[in-house]
Amino acid sequence: MSVTLADIDTLDQAYASGDLEASSKEPLFAHDESLNKRISLYRGDITKLEVDAIVNAANRSLLGGGGVDGAIHRAAGDELYDECKTLDGCATGSAKITKGYKLPSKHVIHAVGPIYDDEEDERCAKLLKSCYDTSLELAVENKLSSIAFSGISTGIYGYPLDAATHIALRTTRDFLTSEKGSSISRVIFTVFRSIDVNSYKKILPLYFPPAPAPSEPKEDAAQPAEESKEKEKTPSAI
């Protein structure tokens, strides 16, 4: 059974239900209600999502592999493999788009993330950012309005989870607030492991914070003169 956009809470709904809480740290950006209605965190099977495109954490051959990559190819059927064979692979940091075939998703965007090397952290960060940028650009070019990301490079490619989450969220926010990003109405970060859920729940409020809590009215320390005098006349009960 497929999962539709209506089945997945947006961030403003998640904050309202208490499923997502404000960070104890100072947010990096101000609250933006319109953005919070365009972002979701979903824990489940990305192959079940009925969206315009799901983003596959692919390898350079684009011909399938383990983990999410293999699951997407199995669910889409042999026709996905056949189309991917015509694409001549994909460079690291880039992405290519195919049809979704037997998937509920109309398209698959195959993004090739970097294999993490801590001695080349800056290069890896640029390549991972490029995966998200290119995927979003492909969605816009193909007039797609909803896109679901899997965790790019955070599995066997070894990218540190929190660092990858920061890149995913910052890149997505920058894109959505740009002119070309206005046509994207929904971005879903799809996770499965509890460690991934915890990372996103910790970092999401820094980039997409909830509305500030209403401030408590301060008591007026200065009492009216007549009230003070009245209190002085009234003996205190002991």
At 42, is the secondary structure helix, strand, or coil? strand
How much is the pLDDT for 213?
78
Q: Name every residue whose Cβ is closer than 8 Å to that of residue 195 and which is 6 or more positions away in sequence.
A: 161
How much is the pLDDT for 1?
86
The residue among 172, 140, 149 whose CA lies nearest residue 36 is: 172
pLDDT 10s digits, 164-222: 999 999 999 999 999 999 999 999 999 999 999 999 999 999 999 999 877 666 555 45
Task: Provide the angle, in degrees to the nearest 10, between the axes of the packed helices 67-76 and 78-85.
Answer: 110
How much is the pLDDT for 63?
95
- Has residue 121 been placed in a domain? yes
Give the number of domains in the chain.
1
How much is the pLDDT for 218?
58
- Has residue 204 been placed in a domain? yes
> Which stretches of the chain drop beneath a pLDDT of 50?
221, 225, 228-238
Percent of the chain with pLDDT over 90: 86
How much is the pLDDT for 212?
87
- Has residue 238 been placed in a domain? no
Q: Which residues pair with 187 in a beta bridge?
A: 39, 147
The CA distances from residue 237 to 62, 231, 234, in Å, are 82, 12, 9
Could you list the residue range(s) of the whole structural domain that residue 167 is in?
A: 5-233
How much is the pLDDT for 217?
62
How much is the pLDDT for 237?
37
CATH of the domain at 182: 3.40.220.10
Would you give the DSSP letter of residue 3?
B
